[in-house]
Structure 1
Amino acid sequence: MLRPLDWLLGLLSLDIGIDLGTANTLVSIRDRGIVINEPSWVAINKRTRRPLAIGAEAREMVGRTPADIVAIRPLRDGVISEFEITEAMLKYFIDKAHEQMIVPFPRPRVVVGVPSGVTEVEKRAVYDATISAGAREAFLIEEPMAAAIGAGLPIIETRGSMIVDIGGGTTEVAIMSMGGVVVSRSLRVAGDEMDEDIVQYMRNKYNLLIGERMGEQAKI
């Protein structure tokens, strides 16, 4: 049974949706749409592992940091590879979304997209990181379903709808019908591999050495 306090907090809470991507993280607020779209990068002190910059600021530091600082992506292939750093990144984005609201809200309810092929352990890591980052409640949704809803596909109808979602770390392919996923496949081959292939092609074909950022820009 829903307690009165839970009902009141739910009424006043900020509802946030997070697309926690390997390459970029998007944050959406209910009735306002996407309010944050930043790279999933964190610059940390190598010795203390303390985050020094997050998001776009950290991305700009790639290749420009002193020896004791490194810029990393705490997710690989769509799943968490650095739990504490991912937690810090989530907290940064949740707090940043809160700052955009004029009226202060209680801790938010957060929905996070996860690849369809992740294990229960990987799902738990995302859930725990979200709660630790400041969410009052956390819910997980498979990325193909979230993408289909966002694209306005008729997933409730009896006929099938197919979606292909190419991210930085994973490619999600799914067929949906009657409000559920009929069949799905999550491939841990996506945009990052395209960037690497472009870098390798330029080196092998033209003997030209370019970085990951240039490879990504050439792809786009």
Structure 2
Amino acid sequence: MNFKEILGGLSQDIAIDLGTANCLVYVRGRGIILSEPSVVALNKKTGQVLAIGREAEKMVGKTPAHIIAIRPLVNGVISDFEVTEQMLRYLIDRARQDKFTLLKPRVIVGIPSGVTEVEKKAVKDA
């Protein structure tokens, strides 16, 4: 067994189903640990992400006009690359919450079938 195989056994395996309506996060050995709406609340003026998932969904209709809730995936297409990237990072961070390791997790992301090659690359880069 080589060093890379040993480290691979120590890292966490995470699978994310990046859906238009909801995102599911599965962690090997723990099952599905998250089911969050694919919604992100943004400050329109600054572009700052204020909330993701269920927290963002709760904000709909209850915030000042400069705060909007968007779905970064629309009809199986990534409509906002940067927001999708932030949503992915958030989901991965939530999945790693219990981990006390510096090793990066192994992550696989299921994406809608309608995405383009450019969108696939954006998800991979995230």
Pairwise same-fold verdict (TM > 0.5):
yes
- Give unpaired runs (5+ residues) of structure 1: 130-220
Structure of greater Rg: 1
Distance change >3 Å, CA 16–CA 105, structure 1 → 2 = farther
Aligned length: 126
* Residues 73 and 79 in structure 2, CA contact (< 8 A), matched pair in contact too: yes
Q: Give me the TM-score of the superposition, normalised by structure 1.
A: 0.53
Q: 4+ residue stretches of structure 1 with deviation over 4 A?
A: none
* Residues 14 and 105 in structure 1, CA contact (< 8 A), matched pair in contact too: no
In structure 1, the residue matched to 2:117 is: 120
3-state SS, counterpart of residue 88 of structure 2: helix
In structure 1, the residue matched to 2:48 is: 50
CA deviation profile, 1:92-118 (whole Å, cap 9, x unmatched): 1111111134x4351111111123343
CA root-mean-square deviation: 1.8
3-state SS, counterpart of residue 64 of structure 2: coil
Tell me the CA shift for residue 33 of structure 1.
Answer: 0.7
The answer to whether 1:37 aligns with 2:35 is yes
* Residues 81 and 119 in structure 2, CA contact (< 8 A), matched pair in contact too: no
3-state SS, counterpart of residue 63 of structure 2: coil
Distance change >3 Å, CA 13–CA 49, structure 1 → 2 = same
* Residues 98 and 104 in structure 1, CA contact (< 8 A), matched pair in contact too: no
In structure 2, the residue matched to 1:91 is: 89
Distance change >3 Å, CA 9–CA 32, structure 1 → 2 = same
Q: Give me the TM-score of the superposition, normalised by structure 2.
A: 0.90
In structure 2, the residue matched to 1:148 is: none
| Structure with the higher fraction of residues in helix conformation | 1
* Residues 43 and 50 in structure 2, CA contact (< 8 A), matched pair in contact too: yes
In structure 2, the residue matched to 1:77 is: 75
